[in-house]
Amino acid sequence: MTIHREGYPTIIISAIILSILNAVVFWLSCSNYCWVGDLFLFLSIFVWLFLISFFRIPARKLTIQENAVVSPCDGKVVVIEEMYDEEYFKEKRLQVSIFMSPANVHVNRNPMDGDVVYNQYHKGKYLVAWNPKSSTENERHSVVLKKGNTEVLVKQIAGALAKRIVNYLKVGQKVKQTEELGFIKFGSRVDLLLPVGTKINVELNQPVKGGVDIIAFI
């Protein structure tokens, strides 16, 4: 397991802040209430280890398959339905949405090889990520990957806790399946907009692993 580069500033700053707070709590409580300092230290270690866990990149065998769309993130499938895309396609698409809890790995990966033909950041709200309106009203970052005649839109969506979406792609860039697409800090969601009629390989409420599980075949 390694730590994602987005996590180092957060982990280091949190360690400094928690150390200072622990010193203050220990100094104020050591004479009569030493247990308070011990409890605060225990809670601080728990929070710090959670932050390290949040930014983890576990070692895993990634799926590279020519005709497959692999999961762009870890999480649970919460939506499989047809919808009308107002942003890019201006037509019906098949939407597959994956909810990422704070406990999930939060690195996002390219679901397939292709050329980046669209990349757009949108300001927005911070509704809970499982709210259907979060796809169109929340802060989000959309990219479209094109492979042959097939285009797939990947939408990183901020949730109630997620306040920062990181996207590494640029229009004109050629990307490889399972390479890093970006990162979302804390609970969030990723949508895939696929051509109508795409063969889906997952079910509602199914847990998936980013870069490993196949979402669909194209």
One DSSP character per residue, 41-102 reads HHHHHHHHHHHHHHTEE--------TTEEE-SSSEEEEEEEEEEETTTT-EEEEEEEEEE-T
Please give the angle made by the CA atoms of 206, 212 and 213, to the nearest 5 degrees. Answer: 30
Report in angstroms the alpha-carbon separations of 213 from 138, 165, 170, 202, 210. Answer: 26, 23, 25, 9, 7
DSSP state of 21: H
Among 57, 48, 43, 42, smallest CA distance to 11 is for 48
| Tokens describing residue 46 | 């728990």
DSSP state of 125: B
Is 97 noted as a catalytic residue in this protein?
no
DSSP state of 157: E
pLDDT of 120 reads 96
pTM of the full predicted structure? 0.84
Query: Hey, is 195 helix, strand or coil?
Result: coil
pLDDT of 62 reads 96
Pairing relationship of beta strands 56-57 and 207-208 according to DSSP bridges: unpaired
Query: Hey, is 153 helix, strand or coil?
Result: strand
Query: Hey, is 197 helix, strand or coil?
Result: coil
Other residues' Cβ atoms within 10 Å of the Cβ of residue 135: 21
pLDDT lower than 70: segments of the chain: 31, 124-137, 159-163, 186-187
| Residue 67: half-sphere exposure toward Cβ, Cα within 13 Å | 6
DSSP state of 172: T
Is residue 166 within a helix (H) or strand (E), and if so which, with residue range?
A: strand 165-167
Is residue 8 within a helix (H) or strand (E), and if so which, with residue range?
A: helix 8-29
Catalytic residue among 71, 97, 142, 188: 188
CA distance 8 to 96: 31
pLDDT digits (tens, 9 = 90+) for 84-98: 999 999 999 999 999
pLDDT of 133 reads 59
